[in-house]
A and B are shown apart, each in its own frame.
Chain A
Amino acid sequence: MPPLPNLPSSVPITWYLMLSAILFTLGVAGFLFRRNIITVFMSIELMLNAVNLSFVTFSYKLKQVDGHIFSFFVMVVAAAEAAVGLAIILTVFKNRQTLQIDDVSSLKN
């Protein structure tokens, strides 16, 4: 296969970090703009994933395994969070028949 013109053979570490920042911002945007509880929850997962990418990238830069361990722990916490969070969502839906965040506001004011 002939080499593609003007394509670098590798990318700087900063690009990975930029990608992580972009994904994190997207997660925050979803968290702020969406009104569905499940989608808001998924935006949180997206943020966690973005942070994981940063951890693994720094692990590459420092040539240490610790970043991988941290993202492993983040995964464990995300699993626990998903179990409890989805149970809460199920309970909310059972009591209110709605998934809109705006409708679950009886503690407001």
Chain B
Amino acid sequence: MDALLFMIFAAIAVVCGISLVIQKHPISSALSLIGVMAALAALYLLLGGEFIAAAQLIVYAGAIMVLFVFVIMLLNAGTEKRGRRMLANYADLPILLLFLGIVAAFIANRMPPTEQVIFGNFKGGTALDIGRALFTTYLLPFEVTSILILIAILGAIVLARKEID
């Protein structure tokens, strides 16, 4: 059952990822990305990360991507024009595949292939555990991220406001 679920959601993630890269229209790309995120949320659940799966749905799929869709609709972005250096760019493709191959070989070499992911083997990802870790071990980084968010809000307002002159 675990394997079946992994296959289904991994397939969804990869297909949506490919679709993100090859779709011409930004809205299609945005929806593909939402598909990837939803599939990843399901995979997090399989890995025992309850809270992180919910956060993935709420923060990524429910808020950040709504912002993207909003901006695409607001700017009425049309389909993409063919780039001038399109052909030159595809020269990078072999390098990418090579990179992927190296990473895959590294993973296959270094990780024990016998270790299986079994649902329920790791239950340390509940909201309780995350909260305890956030407010003890990781308290300083947590507070710093709140300042980061504040700066981001200020930056967004300054960048997007109407010029007063």
Q: Which residue numbers of A lie inside 8 Å of B, CB to CB?
A: 4, 7-19, 21-23, 25-30, 32-36, 38-39, 41-43, 45-46, 49, 52-53, 56-57, 59-61, 63-66, 68-69, 71-73, 75-84, 86-91, 93, 99-100, 102
Give the chain B neighbours of A30 by CB distance below 8 A.
Answer: 20-21, 29
Give the size of the chain B interface in residues (CB under 8 angstroms): 89
A102, B71: Cβ atoms closer than 8 Å: no
Per DSSP, chain B at the interface is helix
User: How many residue pairs between the two chains, A and B, have CB atoms under 8 Å in the bound complex?
Assistant: 243
B125 and A38 form a contact (CB under 8 A): no
Chain B residues with a Cβ under 8 A of chain A = 1-4, 6-7, 10, 13-14, 17-18, 20-21, 26, 29-30, 33, 36-37, 40, 43-44, 47-49, 51-52, 55-56, 59-60, 63-64, 67-68, 71-72, 74-75, 77, 80-86, 89-90, 92-93, 96-97, 99-100, 103-104, 107-108, 111, 113-119, 121-122, 124-125, 129-130, 133-134, 137-138, 141, 145, 148-149, 151-153, 155-157, 159-160
Residues of B within 8 Å of A33, CB to CB, are: 21, 86, 89-90, 92
Q: Smallest distance from the beta carbon of B120 to chain A beta carbons, Å?
A: 11
